[in-house]
Structure 1
Amino acid sequence: MSPISAGLKCPTYFTSFQQNADDFIQIFDSLRSKLMEASVASIFTEVHTIKVGVEHLVKNELLSALPCAVHAASALHDGSDRGCLPGTRTAILDALQAWAIGGHVSVDLNPLPGLDSPNMLSLADTSVLWLQGMAGSGKSSIAISLAKYLESASVCTAYYQFETAKQHHLNPSNLFTTIALQLAAQNPSLEAQLLALVRSAKDLQRRSEDPAEQLERFLLPLLKGDSKTLNQVVIIVDALDESGGVAGRRKILKGLASIAPYLPSTVHILITTRPEQDIQETLQILPQPPNVSELFMDELPNSSTKQDIYQYVKHMLGGPPLSAKPEQLSTLSEKAQLSFQWASTACLYIVDRDDGNQTVLPLARLRKILSSSSATGSQISLYNLYTTVMDAQFGLSMMRAYLFPRAEVGIPRARC
């Protein structure tokens, strides 16, 4: 090819090169644009993450100013099986569950037809329910089972259990703010309301340990919402009698009774307590609005309670390794005298691998309990059982009477 003919083709080469360059520039511009967009998106994401983190820190800082008992609901999440044994207390639990979620509220408390006449429980229009009963009657187990059921049903639930041994951080001074914090943690709308309330309060008001002020300033505004927009809310205050002094309990009782008329139909409050004298006196002098009701554990049919105790004893002792005989299970159930606390204490003592002396087998301990004399009255019988257990554990028959005169020692709560 001559130089002249080769030169004639140069424009074609230049045209092709220009086209390739334009394509490269277009691709580069496209990549640069995408890179810029990705960078902006990444920066936006980072800024948003930082913003959310800062808001979370500010929120936590604000809410941490409120007195809070972090272990108030530990009975629900400590990995134990506290609560009612499946298949027991079915009537009362059905009634409370229906009441709590606003369903059918008239239930026959006698689940054993033919043994007792119908015992209908009506909780219509009840906002605040007082569940009262003696020690060992199963109040806390019922409260725990109800709370666990409501949590599983995604119902906004606050649970606060008082314990005598933990009065230093479970006491009336942090009850209502702890409940407010528990509810806010489950409901974004309530959380926003609580944050606004805390922001508007002065520092001393935030840290107030007066139950009445806490209730009025931080909890009641959350509960007075429109029933059309406020979902179901349930508050359970368990073992109020273990909250400490009389003055603190009286403030709680007065506060809860006073707010009942202002609660929407979607809010329900359950309080469990022993029938202590100061509690009874306070309830008698308080004006009782129609939406406050009382239920006593001894109103439950004896036949159903006996059957539930038998089922519990059978569950604990009827299978391996002990495999107690049916007549032994029946006798032990009868000796409980309708007290779940007695049945629970006896069963735990019998199945314990270490009786203190490491000599007595479970079957021998069962026979010892069965042969022990029965006393009239569940509380006396419970005390006698405690002394039997202490003798076996420590062998301190003489010192027991001096150190623990008719006192309840550290026996776990009953499971009904």
Structure 2
Amino acid sequence: MRWSDGPTDASIFWLNGEAGIGKSTIARTVARMWADEKRLGASFCFVRGWGDMAHASKFFTTLAYQLACVHPNIATGVYKTLCDYPDVPRQSLREQWKYLILEPLSRLDGVSHPQSLILVIDALDECDDENDIALILLLLSQAGTLKSVRLQVFITSRPEAQIRYGFDNIPKACFTVFELDTITSLSRLVEKADGLA
């Protein structure tokens, strides 16, 4: 994926499309590819009706845990945070993002960590609280402010109103959009044209 390799101000890549079009398959595929390249920081898949996977209360704590498991220097930062603020996992999403993700990543020394880390967030539209969706997008848009590491976020979802609203409230330069439906529509047109030829 060119977005993850080339220099860009867009720290978020939003892949959207209707249900059943293959977004989750793509998310799993690119996550595996980035894991093989040692660039995957963490991943999370929202699943409506599945307890902790349906709401955001464990979202940032799960990402922080995975980041800590993959990178020892991040683990040190998360451990320090939990020692200093032991109740942070029960705090607001803003506090969790700030203390468990942003601060540990900002303390990296620039030498002994990867140049680039990617978070894969699948099915964001399945988060059961619309307010949490907007807040998650707002917080993730801060990924580009980090100087110590290039943090990128790959998000999949259906193009539902609450997701569009969330993206409308963050700077346009922070994200790029790819509509998977346009590819399937194009391929149907090509098939139809081939049938007419």
Q: How high is the TM-score relative to the length of structure 1?
A: 0.42
**Aligned-residue CA RMSD in angstroms?**
2.6
Q: What letter is aligned with 2:171?
A: Q
Residue 326 of structure 1 corresponds to: none
Q: 2:103 aligns with which of 213, 221, 230?
A: 221
- Residue-by-residue CA offset, 1:353-381 (whole Å, 9 max, x unaligned): xxxxxxxxxxxxxxxxxxxxxxxxxxxxx
- 2 CA distance for matches of 1:206 and 1:144? 27
Residue 153 of structure 1 corresponds to: 37
Residue 60 of structure 2 corresponds to: 176
Residue 256 of structure 1 corresponds to: 140
Shift of 1:244: 0.6
- 2 CA distance for matches of 1:306 and 1:157? 38
Which blocks of at least 5 consecutive residues in structure 1 are unaligned? 1-94, 106-122, 311-333, 335-416
If each structure's strand is expressed as a fraction of its own residues, which one has the higher value? 2
Q: What letter is aligned with 1:291?
A: C
Q: Secondary structure at the match of 2:52?
A: coil
Residue 176 of structure 2 corresponds to: 293
Describe the shift of the 1:306–1:239 C-alpha distance in structure 2 as closer, same or farther (beyond 3 A): farther
Residue 230 of structure 1 corresponds to: 113
- Residue-by-residue CA offset, 1:74-94 (whole Å, 9 max, x unaligned): xxxxxxxxxxxxxxxxxxxxx
- 1 CA distance for matches of 2:26 and 2:136? 21
Shift of 1:198: 0.7
Does residue 281 of structure 1 match 2:165? yes
Query: 1:174·1:211 contact (CA, 8 Å) conserved in 2?
Result: no
Does residue 99 of structure 1 match 2:3? yes
Does residue 189 of structure 1 match 2:73? yes
Please say which structure displays the higher CA radius of gyration. 1
Q: How high is the TM-score relative to the length of structure 2?
A: 0.83
Shift of 1:268: 1.1
Shift of 1:227: 4.8
- 2 CA distance for matches of 1:126 and 1:99? 8
Query: 1:139·1:272 contact (CA, 8 Å) conserved in 2?
Result: yes
Which blocks of at least 5 consecutive residues in structure 2 are unaligned? none
Q: 1:240 aligns with which of 113, 116, 124?
A: 124
Shift of 1:305: 7.4
Query: 1:134·1:274 contact (CA, 8 Å) conserved in 2?
Result: yes
Shift of 1:206: 3.6
Aligned-pair identity in percent equals 26
Q: What letter is aligned with 1:248?
A: D
Q: What letter is aligned with 1:132?
A: N
Q: What letter is aligned with 1:134?
A: E
Q: Secondary structure at the match of 2:102?
A: helix
- Alignment length, in residue pairs? 189
Q: Secondary structure at the match of 2:38?
A: coil
Query: 1:261·1:289 contact (CA, 8 Å) conserved in 2?
Result: no
